[in-house]
Amino acid sequence: MVLKEEVLEKDGICMSLNLDNVQENISKFECALVGKLLGKWKSFAWLHSELSRRWSHIWEFQLITITPN
């Protein structure tokens, strides 16, 4: 059985995060909408065009993919 303490002892050095930078990065996504698309495949260009047409008049719109397709 593996104990949590043993893993943490051998895991290495922990990172120290600059909390001001973390808060700044979080604030960039304060109004983000995240979703996953299921169903028939559509091209990224088509999806970007369609979502921009529908949403860009409300606020600045950016579509970002996190996985290559």
Predicted confidence (pLDDT) at residue 7 exceeds the cutoff of 90: no
Predicted confidence (pLDDT) at residue 20 exceeds the cutoff of 90: yes
Identify whether 10 is part of a domain: no
CA-derived radius of gyration, the chain:
20
Identify whether 40 is part of a domain: yes
CA atoms 39, 45, 51, 54: torsion sign: negative
Identify whether 16 is part of a domain: no
Q: What is the mean pLDDT of residues 59-68?
A: 76
- Rounded to whole angstroms, the Cα distance separating 69 from 57 reads 28
Identify whether 23 is part of a domain: no
- Give the residue carrying structure tokens 């921009």: 52
Q: Tell me the C-alpha to C-alpha distance, in Å, between residue 50 and each of 32, 34, 38, 55.
A: 18, 16, 16, 9
Domain count within the chain: 1
pLDDT digits (tens, 9 = 90+) for 27-60: 988 878 778 878 888 888 898 898 888 888 877 7
* Global confidence as pTM: 0.46
Which among 69, 65, 59, 60 has a CA at the least distance from the CA of 36? 65
